[in-house]
Structure 1
Amino acid sequence: MKTLVLDIGTSGLRAAIVHPDGSLSDLHYESFPPHSPAPGLVEFDASAMYEAVHRVACKALEQHDVTAVGLTCQRASTIVWRASTGQPVGPGLGWQDLRTVGECIMMRHTHGIAVAPNQTATKASWILKNLLNDDERHSNDILIGTVDTWLVWKLTRGAAHVTDHTNAAVTGLTVASGIQWDETTCAAFDILPTQLPRIVDTMGFIADASDLPGTPPLMAIAGDQQASLVGQGCITPGQAKITFGTGGMLDVYVGEHTPTQSSRSSAGTFPIVAFSRDQQLHYGTEAIMLSAGSNIEWLCHDMGLIATPEESDAIAASCASSHGVMYVPALVGLGTPYWDYGARGSLFGITRGTTRAH
């Protein structure tokens, strides 16, 4: 029994075959970085994303028949599309996109709804209000989803418009438990619940992936951080993992106790759904660093201070200390514990003697 696993990150995507003993083979990767057309904006081409996912999936399946497909994705990045054509309405908005900071502030003051720009709620609302007219915006032909929802819809050729609890709970549109959509919140954002995906368990049969060779069943969906939490064996309360990718996320497994609120705590952490099975939800809490590996990519691709990300280690090791040079990694604001979206990346302590290594 082999499983095809699809891992869709913020800057790249991969497919691999997982064997019964847990080993991996046929790993295929494609870089897929988002675009930043202006400061604070982070966008991606959802159609091109699916084409890349389909390519790596088919490559992994060339030598194997699989009995299941598992999907893990970046969370909260948002796509709106027309069911009748399968075409996205404008670009997808990445989870790091900050264009809706003002709307988040307004929603807190006018409706008492605490939502962050790195959640789905204001991203979907922005697309609906800015890229569609009134008639289109309230049409059931318009579908809304996060990356997992979009990819499942494409993999099943439109048969399944779903998301799982781990992804739904970070949209800002569910009740505190994350088990269902909050109709009051949806109404405040002028989003029809019928435009949102059906929420399903993380584990269990979801639909057949008819757009893949052999039509294997899709058996699991999870947000990337929750997938790594469970994958690292953190299923006892108090166990934790930290992941550094585009961002940095520290997650702690809490258990089956339902959180009392869906918004962030005074410490700047968020409750999350760790996974769900048979409609039983398991929870965790998460701290977020908005820019981690993306800082290294910025130094490489935009600033030209290093040729490759790997070079950063050798250059940093070439000097004994930073000699007072400090860097604030706030390329898209600061996350836990400050949650300051107005913060910007800064270098301090630069002198005439400062070099690339410092």
Structure 2
Amino acid sequence: MVSERSLEVLRVIVQDYVASREPVGSKAIVERHAFGVSAATIRNDMAQLEEEELIAAPHTSSGRVPTDKGYRVFVDQLTELRPLTPAQRQAIETFLGEAVDLDDVLARTVRLLSQFTSQVALAQYPSFGSARVRHIEIVALGPTRLMTVLITDTGRVDQRLLDVATPIDDDALAEVRGRVNAELGGLALADVAAKLGTLPGAFPHENRDLVQAVTASLGEQVAANRQDRLVMAGAANLARTERDFRGSIYPVLEALEEQVTMLKLFGEMEIEVDAVRASIGHEHQASGLGEASVVATGYTTTGGGLAHLGVLGPTRMDYSNNMAAVRAVARYLTRLLGEDDR
């Protein structure tokens, strides 16, 4: 059982090591922090921390660095997250507020979060398994070219271009548009495919080709939107922190490329809205990310679906800052998507 002072020593070791990347010794702790005790006393505290496997010596006669277990205790001891600066809060509102649709919102979100944290930022698209069709628009762009637009209640807007074999009749197109919205509006995406299969038979033979082209396009859009996927930014930050990975960063890059790995990890973290979680090093060893940490939370959309937002980087990261940034951006994202009818 470590003492309160030993926990405070652990806290400053984590903070100093994150800031400098240099092992932290007792003399440096006494010089930098007002403990009011001797270096010998701090060494005793460090010995206790080392016995509990919260810190370790990377080299003989060196200072100490936090272990994964030490980072975990540090994160669990965080009672308050460092607030974002007024400039950072303003940047969130301005940059995200200029987005034009969900794709743009999430792309801007990860770019901003990556800048705030200097880590890889990841945002999961809302779960479209429970999403419903809000509206479908079918627009003629030329004599034989159409655009189908699928809008869900989660804020997702998906556009697709298609060409038809015969010239488009405006009256026929209006009829198709009205019938499609009447039949599909309000349906869950999981139920749309079956309904699309019956639509062509409800139209006159002369419009059958047009209807089949439209329903095929919408079917592809629905299938694409039911897949869980991530948007990412800041992978170059991994190269800047490559020295923090004792082995190679390639397993981390592969995990990022294989989105299923990150989606599985997000799911295992049991993330909730407004509750920031950290998964550290060996805690997710099986995913190939044993030298990385993930800080994540949840956000919601108009349809109430939960999705994940977070950052990934080496275990030597500024947990307090990163957790505060992830939480603040997720809160604004929830508010933005909840208020927006896009």
Please indicate, yes or no, whether the TM-score normalized by the shorter chain is above 0.5.
no
Higher relative contact order (CA 8 A, sep 6+): 2
Rg (Cα) greater in structure: 2
- Tell me the TM-score normalised to structure 2 length: 0.22
- Tell me the TM-score normalised to structure 1 length: 0.21
